[in-house]
Amino acid sequence: MRNHRTVFCQPAFKPDYLARRIALPGSMPNSLSQHRGGIRLIGPLSFVETIKELHDGLVVFARKDKGLPSGFETLGGCLADEVLEHQREIKELVAVDGFMTINRVLMGKGRGATRASRIIPVLRYYRRRVVDLEELTAAYVDLDCGKLGLDPTQVLDLAVDRLNAQGQPLPTHACFSGSGLWFLWRFLEPVHAWLENSSLLKRLNQKLVHDFAQFGADPNSTDAARVMRCAETINSKNGRDVRFFRVLGSERRTFQELILAFHVPAQKTSLAGERKSSRTKNPRRVAAGKLRYSRRHRGFLQLREIRGFFKLGTRRQAIFGLALLLFKNGVAKKQILVECENFARKYCRPPITDGAEIRRRVEAAFRYREHISDAKFAEWFRITPAEMAQLPDWFRPKQESREPRKARIARRRALIKFERRFLELGLSNYKQALTLVMCPRLLYQSEC
């Protein structure tokens, strides 16, 4: 397959688009990297064209305001057709750090949230919560590649390579938001924004974040009520323009087709009336679990004093085991890392000074979820029988094995059979049988 460059071409679906000169986005470098399969971007689209591409109904605008707890000031919403009529006033309002909703907001009728805005009368007050959505129109992922020092154009090429290699659909739209990049997959048909669908869309977006994590995908931009920057606005962080493009050759898919294409994992559905355990944990069992690992940690410290240091073959496993014991005893993660670094320098021969290696061992201990027995610790630290004898609180001496259970049962049955014959009593009554087992001689003497 031949290599092609990313091509930015002029949109040809409207005559007035042809008069506009198409340039590279301000957030993009002059050089374009190559990739397999090729991708053609139509645009950049104007502010109104972007609204028409994404919204068939109500769109809500917002802008950044660090003085508010949410960080955003909701400016209000209006229909897409009304944006065309009042585009000049709305563009001036959202010229710097302006945002818009991606999914369609429910148009309230006679609700208190539909008052006209004092700034622009055409904008009515609408909330942009998940419960206020009417329809879901697209899946999306926000790639903060600028924070990783990556070139947005190169990220575009690499992301397209990845999608082609996995046989997954290309995005229908791409947006250069300054130093980052947005991908959007517009649905073939919008779906109702029921809570089940909104939750499923969030899981789809989370799967996209997982797939594009190497490009700086933002895990916080997954909810259905997410907003994105408006086209032809300015990103105040770097002073660059936001440019919006349509991907030529990409096909719209249905919501379910995208879920299957990106292998969104299934999730257990909670059913009405389903029995759920409301019991709290037994505090004695919780205390016993903490005491168990507290005893093991004390034993590890005693083993350290007995040996003086850990030699080759046990150093790295000792760091992992110490981090695990501290984590099980509720020590803070930062403190665990400090303790393990001190242990690696003082009690390892030769000392381990590679901080990255120690950090890997500690992080592996945080992820460890398997049950650990005392025998497993003895295997990890290569504890000898002589050392076990010096650690009686950790490795308790073995007790004499009891008589096997089957042998005890057979012996008791033989005694009961003997008493039955001696007393000449039937054992159809359970209480009589229990009495015979407990004190047969006393029963015999009382009857005599």
Give CA 173 to chain center in angstroms: 25
381 with 419, same domain: the answer is no
Supply the DSSP string of 124-146, one letter for each residue.
BP---SGGGEEEEEEEEEEE-GG
- For residue 348, what pLDDT band results from cuts at 50, 70 and 90? very high
Least confident among 259-273, 379-393, 394-408: 259-273
Upper half-sphere CA count for residue 125 (Cβ side, 13 Å): 11
Provide the 10 A C-beta neighbour count for residue 312: 9
Residues in the chain: 448
Q: Is residue 358 part of a domain?
A: yes
Least confident among 62-76, 158-172, 285-299, 304-318: 62-76
Instruction: Look at residue 157 and tell me whether its pLDDT is greater than 60.
Output: yes
331 with 428, same domain: the answer is no
333 with 437, same domain: the answer is no
Torsion of the alpha carbons at 278, 284, 289 and 291, rounded to the nearest 10: 150
156 with 47, same domain: the answer is yes
Express each pLDDT in 170-205 by its tens digit.
999 999 988 889 999 999 999 998 888 999 999 999
Phi, psi torsion values for 376, nearest 5 degrees: -65, -40
102, 138 Cβ separation under 8 angstroms = yes
Express each pLDDT in 267-289 by its tens digit.
766 555 555 555 677 888 878 87
Nearest of 372, 236, 352, 368 to residue 295 by alpha carbon: 372
Express each pLDDT in 296-311 by its tens digit.
999 999 999 999 989 8
145 with 38, same domain: the answer is yes
Phi, psi torsion values for 96, nearest 5 degrees: -120, 125
Nearest of 57, 55, 95 to residue 75 by alpha carbon: 95
- For residue 436, what pLDDT band results from cuts at 50, 70 and 90? low
Q: Is residue 269 part of a domain?
A: no
Express each pLDDT in 205-244 by its tens digit.
999 999 999 888 999 889 998 889 998 898 888 888 899 9
290-298 average pLDDT score: 87
Helices 283-307 and 315-328 cross at an angle (nearest 10°) of: 150
Instruction: Look at residue 432 and tell me whether its pLDDT is greater than 50.
Output: yes
15 with 153, same domain: the answer is yes
Nearest of 175, 188, 245, 172 to residue 17 by alpha carbon: 245
Tell me, what's the pLDDT at 53?
Answer: 82
Tell me, what's the pLDDT at 133?
Answer: 87
Tell me, what's the pLDDT at 38?
Answer: 58
Q: Is residue 273 part of a domain?
A: no
Tell me, what's the pLDDT at 430?
Answer: 52
Amino acid at 373: S
Q: Is residue 115 part of a domain?
A: yes
Q: Is residue 278 part of a domain?
A: no
Provide the 10 A C-beta neighbour count for residue 177: 26
28 with 80, same domain: the answer is yes
Dist CA 374 CA 94 (whole Å):
64
> Final residue of a domain: which of 389, 419, 436?
389
Task: Identify the sign of the CA torsion 330, 335, 340, 343.
Answer: negative
Helical residues (DSSP H) of 229-282, grouped into ranges: 255-261
Looking at the DSSP bridge assignments, the partners of residue 116 are 124
Instruction: Look at residue 336 and tell me whether its pLDDT is greater than 90.
Output: yes
Tell me, what's the pLDDT at 30?
Answer: 34
| Strand blocks (E) in 67-132 | 72-79, 98-101, 104-105
Least confident among 286-295, 309-318, 322-331, 393-402: 393-402
Number of domains in the chain: 3
Question: Mean pLDDT across the chain, nearest whole number?
Answer: 79
Dist CA 20 CA 164 (whole Å):
32
168 with 208, same domain: the answer is yes
Instruction: Look at residue 292 and tell me whether its pLDDT is greater than 90.
Output: no
Tell me, what's the pLDDT at 426?
Answer: 55
- For residue 448, what pLDDT band results from cuts at 50, 70 and 90? low
Express each pLDDT in 104-150 by its tens digit.
888 765 444 455 566 677 887 777 788 888 889 999 999 988 888 88
Upper half-sphere CA count for residue 74 (Cβ side, 13 Å): 20
Instruction: Look at residue 6 and tell me whether its pLDDT is greater than 70.
Output: no
3-state class (DSSP) for residue 396 = coil
CATH, residue 154 = 3.30.70.1790
Tracing tokens 């895990």 back to the chain, one arrives at 219
191 with 253, same domain: the answer is yes
149 with 246, same domain: the answer is yes
What percent of the chain has a predicted confidence (pLDDT) above 70?
Answer: 79
- The segment with the largest mean pLDDT, out of 199-208, 283-292, 389-398, 402-411, is 199-208
> Final residue of a domain: which of 231, 261, 291?
261
**Could you list the residue range(s) of the whole structural domain that residue 434 is in?**
405-447
What percent of the chain has a predicted confidence (pLDDT) above 90?
Answer: 23
Q: What is the pTM of this model?
A: 0.54
382 with 409, same domain: the answer is no
Nearest of 237, 224, 249 to residue 174 by alpha carbon: 249
Tell me, what's the pLDDT at 405?
Answer: 86
Looking at the DSSP bridge assignments, the partners of residue 308 are none
Q: Is residue 443 part of a domain?
A: yes
Instruction: Look at residue 429 and tell me whether its pLDDT is greater than 60.
Output: no
Q: Is residue 397 part of a domain?
A: no
User: What does each C-alpha distance from 35 to 5, 157, 169, 182, 209 come to in angstroms?
Assistant: 6, 6, 16, 19, 22
User: What does each C-alpha distance from 299 to 215, 269, 386 come to in angstroms?
Assistant: 45, 45, 14
Tracing tokens 């936001």 back to the chain, one arrives at 242
Instruction: Look at residue 35 and tell me whether its pLDDT is greater than 50.
Output: no
Dist CA 125 CA 121 (whole Å):
10
Dist CA 370 CA 30 (whole Å):
52
- More confident call, 429 vs 197: 197
Tell me, what's the pLDDT at 106?
Answer: 81
Assigned token pair, 228: 């994105």
Tell me, what's the pLDDT at 11?
Answer: 43
State which H helix or E strand residue 8 sits in. strand 7-9
Instruction: Look at residue 398 and tell me whether its pLDDT is greater than 80.
Output: no
Phi, psi torsion values for 343, nearest 5 degrees: -65, -40
Tell how strand 104-105 and strand 72-79 pair up: unpaired
320 with 228, same domain: the answer is no
> Final residue of a domain: which of 363, 389, 415?
389
Q: Is residue 46 part of a domain?
A: yes
- For residue 3, what pLDDT band results from cuts at 50, 70 and 90? very low
56, 104 Cβ separation under 8 angstroms = yes
Provide the 10 A C-beta neighbour count for residue 269: 7
